[in-house]
Structure 1
Amino acid sequence: MSRLEDANLVTGKGSFLDDLDPIPGTLVAAIVRSPNAHAKITSVDLQRARNHPGVAAVIGPEEVLAALKPFPLSLRAPMDYYPTGTDKVRYVGEPVAVVVATDRYTAEDAGDLVDISYELEPVVVDAMKALTPDSPLLHERSKTNVASDRTFNFGEVDEAFADAAHVVEGEYYFPRYSSTPMECYNVVANWVDGPQHPEVTVWSNFHGPFSMVPVLCGAMGLTTSQLRLHVPADNGGSFGIKAGIYPYIALMALASRHAGRPVRWSEDRSEHLLASSAGSDRHMKVRTAIDAAGIIQAIDIDFVENVGAYLRPPEPATLYRCFGNMTGAYGIEHVRLRSRAVVTNKCPTGLNRGFGGQQLYFALERIMDKAAKAVGLDRLEFRKRNLIGAESFPYATPTGGIYDSGNYQKVVEHLEDNSDYQALLARQAEARARGELVGTGVALIVEPSGTNIGYVGLATPAENRPPGRGKSGSTEHVHLSVDPQGIVGITLGTVPQGQGHATVARQVVARELGLPEEQVVPTVVMDTATTAWTITSGSYSSRFSPLLTSALVDGAREIGERIKRAAALMLDTTADLLELHQGTVRVMGDPEKSVSFKHAAGLIHWDPGRLPGGEEATLEVNVAFTPPQAQAPSRTDQVNSSLCYGFVADLVSVRIDPETLEITIDDVVSVHDAGTILNEQLFTGQVHGAMVQALGGAMYEEMSYSDSGQPVSTFMDYLVPTSAESMFPFRMDHIETPSPLTRLGAKGAGEGASMSFPVALANAVEDAVSEHGVEINSLPVHPSVLHDLLYPND
């Protein structure tokens, strides 16, 4: 089946915001950014810029402080965050002023006339150094660079370590990297001061979560009804990054207020890499307690997250998104976790594909390899001994996750069969005997989907969370209607970025109503004034398959029941004896006795007087799917942080050139369980796309900073994988253990490979150089890294 979305995109007819002119009379903005990583703002002179021909307005810290409040944070911390620096700047690229003019060239020229004086302060970019007592303070009122520090204990951790036959520990580092979508940030804002209250209309390629809308309104002093947010039908990639656009929405809205006209800002590529958002870099320490049989009894984890200069909402969410699946696929009974979010002089962090999962599994699956070696077992055999059994589902993790379904052993069997695992190891042993550097790595991960936003509450201690005022939820909304000609319309508010939501939505509804797919017309739109939404709305954390399709099924079934009741009048029977089939409503057991779906719908539109009393003369429904399993954190700090949990098993084989140390991927085998697969073509594309994106963070991409806080990554050396690097051998397989919690049994599948692939590759590289006694405990790994590890004295 062809995707609905493709024709417009391949013919250049996409509806991207930079192609649109949604508000007439729009001016153009340019942002003046800090060249310093840490400095007091001693003076700002905007007058020369304001006098420049063609300039409509220039705003700086004074205007921001007068009109805006700090963004409400996810927890109480004395670390005010505004869309510009106010008292000082805390990272290179932080906005300081905005120039609004007739065109971008004029705005940029006038921006050069903004005169800002700085008093430089000491810089810290490493989170571990930021923890030290003599480290420079970013936020003086806080008196510490630790924005959040929580410790969680589940079970008898100390006792398990005291009784352990083996204690294995390791330290790991996962780098900061971005998603570099093809389309950068884009905002069109119009602030109108009405007779009673201001009204702000914004067009933006923001993708959610819409919990950021109240945060945005809180900073602007508006109610959510005073802010109308539009998201265009097409988004040129996001992968989480565009959640971080909301500070710029507030900034452009304020710029519009001062200019008295709508304002457009289009982020350029340099700005995006410098100062948009990125996944966080994390330092990790892990200890495991293992008994004599090779079973892990306890795990002790210490995470130190570098969130950049501000605790930008929804941070410190990265630390807790995978809280329910903290122990991965393994039946570990006792767990201790310390999680710290630390501010440094880097750009603030946010969502990135795999959000929290890449970091978690890099540590967890690296320690599994190390533990297997310590107990004298093959890496895959050690993992198999510790897997949660198929008979244990639904499985409750110590941290509160409820794994809804799965058969991890079967997935691993497929991995072994498809890779011919034992023969592969034998061939590699022969190659090593010839002096070749070859290796194989595996990774087994639980993939969360349908995020329960309540996990963010874990950053606040239970005693400080007001009883009865918890936050939770995985709600998703859809709107369905049937017109007088029997055409079913669907309105989706999930603002996709190329995942094929419209295609799958049409497929799901057509199947439920027994209609040809061309009789179902989906529309992807988000207008907060007209589209049903809630704070959990948005396209993030693999929500579509488990949540939105469930809402679609509920809505389609409601429409179907109304159609059957109308058809029952026409067929002189009762609705319970009817079924929907191939565009008709027919009597079960008597297919000749039927009426078309179109005519049954027509009765409700054209002849509603025939409907019995109490029957609504409408074929329009708004449906919300709200799974009750998504609850706020308990008083004992447990939370089911996602609705569904899939499973991924990856095997990566690599070869390293002994002279150049270039790494070549010889083979990738990936087996998934994402519940019911709704569209296999899209499923395969999502997995392969996630894997290629993960390849960037594993081998090429890293947002590096000098000790002075200057970003040293440009697109000369920030290497995003191209199609050439993406064409590695790739074999994919799947099983299906349908989720009992979703209407179709579907789980998410868009992020698992981005969590599993980096560590599987790292495990493979370490295996290839294992005879040299080096460990791969950080990413990215590439020839220069291998050279430093293998030849430290060169």
Structure 2
Amino acid sequence: MTDDARSEDTCSDTARTDGGAAAVKAVEAEEQPAREKNVGQPLKRKEDNRLTTGRGRYIEDLEPVPNLHYIAVLRSPLAHANIESIDASAALELPGVKAVITGQDVAARVKPFPAAVQNPSNAYYPIAVDKVRYYGEPVAVVVADDRYRAHDALEHIRVSYDRLDPILDPEEAVEDDAPQVHEGGNVANHRVLEYGNVEAEFDAADHIVEERFEYPRTAYPPLETYGVIADYDDGQDTLDIWANFQGPFSLHAVTTAVLPLPENRITLRVPSDQGGGFGVKCSLYPYMVLLSAVSMEAGVPVKWVESRQEHLLASSMHANRVQYLEGAVDDDGNIRAIRFRQYDDYGGYVRPPEPGATYRPIANWQGPYTMNALGAELFAVRTNKCPTGPNRGYGCHLHYFALEGLVDRMAETIDMDPAELRLRNFIEDDAFPFESLTGGLYDSGQYEKAMRMGLEAIDYENLTTESDDEDTLVGIGMAAVVDPQASNMGYLDVALPKEMRKNTKSGALEAITVIVGPDATVKVDLTDSPQGQGHETTVSQIVADELGVPFDAVKVNTGIDTSADSWAISSGTYSSRFGTIGHAAVAKAAGQVRDQILTIGAHLLGVSEDRVELRDEAVVSDEGDAVSLRRIAGTTYWDPQQLPEGVEPKLAALSVMGMNQATAVTDDDKVNSSMTYAFGAHFAVVEVNKRTGVVNIRDYVTVHDPGTVVNPLIVRGQIEGGTFHGYASTFYEFHEYDETGTLQTDSLMDYAMPTIKERLKMRHEHVETPSPFTEIGSKGTGEAGTQATVPALSNAVRNALMQADVDLDTLPITPDRVWELLHPAETDD
């Protein structure tokens, strides 16, 4: 294309034919090599310049309305107690204090949150009404004209409590004589599920292998804590909420369902930038409701940004789990069946989307293995701990810690190499799409190829557990996981037996808008608020390829405004869904705009559409004539009479993308709980110092298959981040309560998190098996690292400890715990 063609004015240089039809003089396209595709290239992230130079826009930066007041939250010092009285008179006399709001005030304005369980007796409000059920539960809220005055006023509120015995152990909580968190009992949900003839498979097996596994509570604290601004306008009876909410609009519906306003009078706005999420910010909505009720009651807009201690104390944690797992295996290594009984501890209230940690992995419970039957008995239990919510891996890392630990024990039982046992039972390449026993539809994969790549990369054949140092134990571990992405909204219906299901749900939608403006610039509006995943970059890569424009020509708008944006009920950045359905929706919307450009461009060139293509910012005919994208855009918006008959004057498309595989749960409790399923295999070599209990990681290799890789740098970043989270869960992070229910890990002095100094060094390999279900074949990749790391590392440490006749079935693997296992006599002394 000539320089003249590139600089044509958008609303001039048009000509009329004798018949009055629009025409544009075709410009001969210069012969030049085609522009390299953007998808698949390791392009640097667009976001980084803004974010690393301090120009991000976060919730703390916002003061969107005048007369903004600040709140401070008074929290319970007890885990379980009745509230006898609250005296706020002294606090109200302090300068700058506008109001003190209690649970009774809030309960008069909002309804309790719903619960997707059989025994929904929690009556969960965002603040304690008459009873506290966990240490740190909100009891009262101070509203003041300054945040420091608000915090000072907390010391002047007097609360009288009637202390009750707490229950903290999920197994003990199901006993009849346990202290009752709620009058309806501590078991919120109990289901027994069976897929295939479990008893027959266990009866026929050569060996039955069993083990108890315990996974602690974790938090994965993001760099940025919770933040909310709420402004109720009583004149218009409208409510505006600003929050660094992670964006699942299914929970927006939960929020609006309990507030005394219809959805069209409630606007949620999410900043364009967030300092991390990791699923934790999906649990922000109770505070959104709390501040909304406070704004209504106090009559002023209010703001709250959570302290780090508050976040660790009472924001959200991942459920801790006790799981009893059994496997039926034959002498030749054939895995016949598995069954398990598990107790998930959801704390004082089972709040939406819980009990998701129990049921989120249902479709991939069998992992990457073929088997004939699977059984599960599931308990969702309430205890006197902080309520739980999604966390990176959401239930899957807990499950794979146990499942992959069991696979290692199966291999030991039949004296088979653990890699060989896995390879023998992997789903074969030609079996995809593969339907799991529980209803999952695994879309694609090359499990054996990925596994063998990892074994070769870590030089598995030549590895040995022998050590030249008598104080060092060497261990080798591995794990293979199927990573589900883009959750089907209907999977939680499995929590209810079929006779209790009403208004079943299904689907996994995403809404994306792509617009080419009058000057041929491209704008993409997302209904997602990324927390560091690189949406702006990958979206630009996909759209640039679809529309034949440069990567830098695409402007991506993030953030959410429910009053202005087109969104679908499940929109948001969670469940690794953007790489799956987000990318698919972007490609679909851009493809629709591409078709519009080709239609108009062919018309302006006077040829049929089958004779043109879009490349290098122009529509080019098979004879070499071209019309620039700039000319097409100018004609569309400035001279629409030149367009073909029946063609609307727009270069824009809104794609609300859905996937047909997201069906409702069946009567026999099967559900495809995710839209795509990636694969990850991790391999670790560790050294355990017998004198100190310290574990050193000598080598670590990951192999991931996320379908089509849009940007290798971002995929690597997601895998490294997820792997580091799994590393933290294995060796560092856990929440600990004492016997009174008081949290002992409410600061970063006590809640151990690895720093950059402890960064896990790793090597990466990739396999690309495109998904047949998405527009460009991509899948998510944000959580597989977490899911595979925990079992790979724990299996490696256990492999080392077994040389000292020590077993391991509990996390985290801290030096003191390892030392105690290795020196039981000295520990007893």
Q: Same fold, TM exceeding 0.5? A: yes
Is residue 2:438 matched to residue 1:406?
no
Is residue 2:530 matched to residue 1:503?
no
Answer yes or no: is the 8 Å Cα contact 1:46–1:58 preserved in 2: yes
For 1:648-659, list aligned pairs within 5 A: 648-659=680-691
Is residue 2:709 matched to residue 1:709?
no
1:453 maps to 489
Q: For 2:129 and 2:378, how far apart are their aligned partners in 1? A: 29
Give CA-to-partner distance per residue, 1:209-261, whole Å, 9 cap, x none: 11111111122122221210000010011100011111111111111112211
1:182 maps to 223
Is residue 2:500 matched to residue 1:464?
yes
Is residue 2:441 matched to residue 1:441?
no
Is residue 2:422 matched to residue 1:380?
no
Answer yes or no: is the 8 Å Cα contact 1:561–1:575 preserved in 2: no
For 1:234-313, list aligned pairs within 5 A: 234-313=273-352
From 700, 703, 720, the equivalent of 2:732 is 700
User: Which range moved further: 615-624 or 539-548?
Assistant: 615-624
Deviation, 1:166, is 0.2
Deviation, 1:151, is 0.9
From 93, 99, 118, the equivalent of 1:57 is 99
Give CA-to-partner distance per residue, 1:458-512, whole Å, 9 cap, x none: 111112113xx32011111101111111011100111100110011101100001
From 701, 710, 720, the equivalent of 2:753 is 720
For 1:11-26, list aligned pairs within 5 A: 11-26=53-68
For 1:386-397, list aligned pairs within 5 A: 386-397=425-436
Give CA-to-partner distance per residue, 1:262-291, whole Å, 9 cap, x none: 100010001000000011100001111112
Classify the secondary structure of the residue corresponding to 2:824.
Answer: coil
1:531 maps to 565
Answer yes or no: is the 8 Å Cα contact 2:478–2:792 preserved in 1: yes
Q: For 1:729 and 1:773, how far apart are their aligned partners in 2? A: 29
Amino acid at match of 2:395: G
From 83, 89, 92, the equivalent of 2:132 is 89
What is the TM-score normalised by the length of structure 1? 0.97
Is residue 2:406 matched to residue 1:367?
yes
Classify the secondary structure of the residue corresponding to 1:255.
Answer: helix
Give CA-to-partner distance per residue, 1:727-770, whole Å, 9 cap, x none: x3311001111000001100111100101101111111111111
Q: For 2:56 and 2:447, how far apart are their aligned partners in 1? A: 41
From 374, 390, 400, the equivalent of 1:335 is 374
1:74 maps to 116
From 788, 793, 796, the equivalent of 1:764 is 796
Answer yes or no: is the 8 Å Cα contact 1:564–1:600 preserved in 2: no
Q: For 2:279 and 2:322, how far apart are their aligned partners in 1? A: 21
Q: For 1:519 and 1:308, how far apart are their aligned partners in 2? A: 49
Q: For 2:98 and 2:92, how far apart are their aligned partners in 1? A: 7
Deviation, 1:2, is 2.3
Deviation, 1:430, is 5.3
Matched residue pairs, number?
A: 782
Q: For 1:788 and 1:208, how far apart are their aligned partners in 2? A: 44
From 148, 153, 156, the equivalent of 2:194 is 153
Q: For 2:752 and 2:726, how far apart are their aligned partners in 1? A: 13
Deviation, 1:554, is 1.1
Q: For 1:221 and 1:789, how far apart are their aligned partners in 2? A: 56
Answer yes or no: is the 8 Å Cα contact 1:213–1:224 preserved in 2: no
Deviation, 1:435, is 5.8
Classify the secondary structure of the residue corresponding to 2:595.
Answer: helix
Give CA-to-partner distance per residue, 1:21-67, whole Å, 9 cap, x none: 11222100000100000000011122222222101111002201211
2:719 maps to 687
Amino acid at match of 1:83: P
Is residue 2:774 matched to residue 1:732?
no
Answer yes or no: is the 8 Å Cα contact 1:228–1:528 preserved in 2: yes
2:619 maps to 585
Classify the secondary structure of the residue corresponding to 2:205.
Answer: coil
Give CA-to-partner distance per residue, 1:393-430, whole Å, 9 cap, x none: 111111000110111110111011111101013xx335
1:478 maps to 512
Amino acid at match of 2:81: A
Structure 2 unaligned segments of length 5 or more: list them.
1-42
Classify the secondary structure of the residue corresponding to 1:556.
Answer: helix
Amino acid at match of 2:347: G
Deviation, 1:431, is 4.3
Q: For 1:762 and 1:508, how far apart are their aligned partners in 2? A: 38
Q: For 2:463 and 2:634, how far apart are their aligned partners in 1? A: 63
Classify the secondary structure of the residue corresponding to 2:200.
Answer: helix
Answer yes or no: is the 8 Å Cα contact 2:722–2:782 preserved in 1: yes
Classify the secondary structure of the residue corresponding to 2:352.
Answer: coil
Q: For 1:61 and 1:564, how far apart are their aligned partners in 2? A: 60
Classify the secondary structure of the residue corresponding to 1:599.
Answer: helix
**Structure 1 runs of 4+ with >3 Å offset:** none
Is residue 2:458 matched to residue 1:419?
yes
Amino acid at match of 1:676: T
Answer yes or no: is the 8 Å Cα contact 1:693–1:721 preserved in 2: no
Deviation, 1:359, is 0.5
Answer yes or no: is the 8 Å Cα contact 2:523–2:554 preserved in 1: yes
User: Which range moved further: 653-662 or 502-511?
Assistant: 653-662
Give CA-to-partner distance per residue, 1:59-105, whole Å, 9 cap, x none: 00220121111011123511110001112001110001110101111
Is residue 2:162 matched to residue 1:119?
yes
Amino acid at match of 1:481: I
Answer yes or no: is the 8 Å Cα contact 1:399–1:638 preserved in 2: yes
Q: For 2:253 and 2:451, how far apart are their aligned partners in 1? A: 44
Deviation, 1:701, is 1.0
Classify the secondary structure of the residue corresponding to 2:313.
Answer: helix
Q: For 2:752 and 2:182, how far apart are their aligned partners in 1? A: 33
Is residue 2:192 matched to residue 1:192?
no
User: Which range moved further: 92-101 or 126-135?
Assistant: 126-135
Classify the secondary structure of the residue corresponding to 1:429.
Answer: coil
Give CA-to-partner distance per residue, 1:690-714, whole Å, 9 cap, x none: 1111111110111000011000113
Deviation, 1:656, is 1.3
Answer yes or no: is the 8 Å Cα contact 1:431–1:438 preserved in 2: no
From 169, 172, 178, the equivalent of 2:210 is 169
Q: For 1:438 and 1:222, how far apart are their aligned partners in 2? A: 61
Q: For 2:365 and 2:661, how far apart are their aligned partners in 1? A: 18
What is the TM-score normalised by the length of structure 2? 0.93
Change (3 A) 1:734 1:614: same
Classify the secondary structure of the residue corresponding to 1:691.
Answer: helix
Give CA-to-partner distance per residue, 1:301-357, whole Å, 9 cap, x none: 111100011001110011111110000010012010111110001100001001111
Is residue 2:591 matched to residue 1:557?
yes
Answer yes or no: is the 8 Å Cα contact 2:770–2:776 preserved in 1: yes
Is residue 2:818 matched to residue 1:781?
no
Structure 1 unaligned segments of length 5 or more: list them.
none
